[in-house]
């Protein structure tokens, strides 16, 4: 066994949002281990005096094949092709990891590119954040961002695609949990109408039923009330964006264990991007931002599950990672800094289904963590931006 110690560590307990002061941590074979024995004379020791040790950040909504610097990533995807997009994904996963974002859920990629990308990272061919890949986003013919999706217009096509994705996860040795993504409405960053739900209630129920039968969870891009309500009542697991959520839907989601991934930062940026992106995108984003700010407070009051996701890679959003920006905007919208951190670590791990191995600093869990020069429970997301000292993945120093 190969191991090392962290001494005098102020450990961030993201379950209780407290600091456990002057702890001794032992990392062996990539996991946190018991520290009952004294430190041996020849064992490596890192002194964390005055520093804070936190689990890595989890971003539950990214697009690794987009780099976030383009005003039109959709056109770029078509021009670049799958190989260049795969290379972009490698670069963006690496940038994310070095910034302390140790796990992402990729919710849309051209020709399911995120699946072999995740496999390549898992096998050590590429250094990058861990990736939970959804493959291409399933959508109808008139849908949102078809270049990072798969067109399915009938119940039969939907069920076939879900089975194909399950097969791809197995073929690429992607361990559970498995997730897929559907586009249930139009998007702000596109020319299409936001309003009508892309799929009928019967089709959405078929998606949820088939996916859950195969032990797959479902994320739904949904901005309009029509799309959100149909997805919520059909049993979809996470609602992405959710601009027109209301109190009744939030209460239903709380009662049924469903989760909202707000992605508030991207719409704020798009609403301020007039002259860079198309006016119709700015106009729609302004409306989304206004609605999200109001319903975000209501969701906190009700106690609906919220998971941090940034939509990293989107038009004019800036280079990966964007999760730390998302955390800052969540703080601006009224969520306490400690709760934002919990939603971006342990809660995300629990909702995604990886909390047995990731998301908090505990014995037997994987040693994906960061060392900070400031307390993130007090300073918030800015501690990860301004005070990042080191990043570790599987107990190995990344930065």
Kindly list the distances between the CA atom of residue 69 and the CA atoms of 16, 136, 159, 286, in Å, as whole numbers in the listed order. Answer: 37, 21, 35, 20
Phi, then psi, of 284 in degrees rounded to 5:
-65, -40
Are 298 and 318 members of one domain?
Answer: yes
* Closest-CA residue to 273 (of 316, 236, 320): 316
Which residues have C-beta within 8 Å of that of residue 263, sequence separation ≥ 6? 61, 240, 241, 309, 310, 311, 326
Are 103 and 244 members of one domain?
Answer: yes
Are 93 and 34 members of one domain?
Answer: no
Are 110 and 247 members of one domain?
Answer: yes
User: Are the beta carbons of 288 and 188 closer than 8 angstroms?
Assistant: yes
The order of strands in the sheet holding 149-151 is 149-151, 137-139, 178-183, 216-222, 238-241, 259-261, 305-306
Are 92 and 114 members of one domain?
Answer: yes
pLDDT for res 1: 55
Are 372 and 266 members of one domain?
Answer: no
Are 186 and 236 members of one domain?
Answer: yes
Are 46 and 114 members of one domain?
Answer: no
Are 252 and 374 members of one domain?
Answer: no
Number of domains in the chain: 2
Are 361 and 242 members of one domain?
Answer: no
| DSSP three-state, residue 141 | coil
The order of strands in the sheet holding 130-133 is 57-62, 101-106, 130-133
Kindly list the distances between the CA atom of residue 1 and the CA atoms of 29, 71, 224, 328, 369, in Å, as whole numbers in the listed order. Answer: 6, 49, 53, 40, 20
Angle, helices 114-122 vs 73-98, to 10°: value is 20
pLDDT for res 192: 73
Please identify every stretch of the chain with a pLDDT value under 50, giving residue numbers as ranges. none
Q: What is the 3-state secondary structure (H, E, C) of 45-81?
A: EEECCCCEEEECEEEEEECCCCCCCCCCHHHHHHHHH
pLDDT for res 237: 98
Q: Check which CATH number belongs to the domain holding 186 and give it.
A: 3.20.20.140
Report H helices in the chain. Answer: 73-98, 114-122, 155-171, 201-213, 225-234, 247-255, 264-271, 279-302, 323-332, 337-343, 346-352, 376-379, 382-386
The pLDDT tens digits for 248-273 are: 999 999 999 999 999 999 999 999 98
**Adjacent-strand bridge partners of 31:** 28, 366
pLDDT for res 60: 98
Buried b (16+ CB within 10 A) or exposed e, 119-150: bbbeeeebebbbbbbbbbbbbbeebbbbbbbb
pLDDT for res 163: 98
Provide the domain limits for residue 386: 3-55+355-397
Q: Round to whole Å and give the CA distance between 201 and 66.
A: 31
Are 38 and 160 members of one domain?
Answer: no
Category of 68 on φ-ψ map: left (φ > 0), alpha (ψ -120 to 50) or beta: left
Are 380 and 344 members of one domain?
Answer: no
Q: Round to whole Å and give the CA distance between 365 and 11.
A: 14
Q: Check which CATH number belongs to the domain holding 362 and give it.
A: 2.30.40.10
């Amino acid at each position: 066994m190969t191991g090392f110690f962290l001494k005098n560590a102020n450990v961030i307990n993201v379950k209780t949002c407290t600091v456990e002061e002057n702890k001794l941590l032992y990392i062996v074979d990539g996991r946190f281990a018991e520290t009952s024995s004294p430190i041996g004379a020849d064992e490596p020791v890192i002194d964390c005096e005055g520093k804070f040790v936190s689990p890595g950040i989890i971003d539950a909504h990214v697009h690794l094949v987009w780099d976030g610097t383009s005003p039109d990533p959709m056109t770029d995807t078509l021009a670049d092709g799958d190989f260049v997009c795969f290379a972009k994904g490698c670069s963006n996963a690496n940038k994310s990891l070095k910034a302390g974002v140790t796990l992402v859920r990729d919710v849309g990629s051209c020709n399911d590119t995120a699946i072999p990308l995740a496999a390549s990272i898992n096998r050590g061919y590429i250094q990058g954040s861990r990736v939970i890949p959804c493959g291409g986003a399933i959508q109808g013919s008139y849908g949102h961002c078809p270049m990072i999706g798969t067109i399915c217009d009938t119940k039969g096509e939907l069920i076939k695609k879900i089975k194909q994705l399950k097969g791809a996860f197995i073929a690429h040795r992607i361990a559970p949990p498995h997730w897929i993504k559907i586009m249930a409405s139009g998007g702000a960053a596109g020319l299409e109408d936001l309003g009508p739900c892309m799929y009928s209630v019967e089709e959405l129920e078929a998606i949820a039923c088939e996916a859950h039968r195969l032990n797959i969870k479902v994320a739904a891009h949904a901005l309009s009330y029509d799309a959100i309500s149909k997805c919520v009542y059909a049993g979809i697991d996470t609602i992405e964006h959710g601009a027109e959520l209301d109190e009744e839907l939030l209460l239903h989601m709380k009662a049924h264990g469903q989760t909202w991934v707000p992605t508030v930062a991207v719409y704020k940026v798009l609403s301020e991007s007039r002259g860079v992106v198309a006016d119709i995108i700015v106009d729609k984003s302004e409306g989304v931002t206004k609605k999200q700010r109001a319903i975000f407070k209501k969701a906190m009051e009700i106690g609906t599950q919220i998971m941090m996701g940034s939509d990293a890679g989107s038009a004019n959003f800036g280079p990966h990672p964007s999760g730390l920006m998302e955390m800052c905007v969540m703080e601006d919208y009224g969520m306490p800094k400690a709760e934002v951190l919990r939603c971006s670590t342990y809660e995300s791990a629990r909702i995604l289904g990886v909390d047995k191995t990731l998301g908090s600093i505990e014995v037997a869990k994987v040693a994906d963590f960061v060392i900070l020069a400031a307390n993130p429970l007090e300073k918030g997301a800015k501690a990860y931006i301004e005070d990042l000292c080191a990043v570790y993945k599987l107990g190995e120093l990344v930065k």
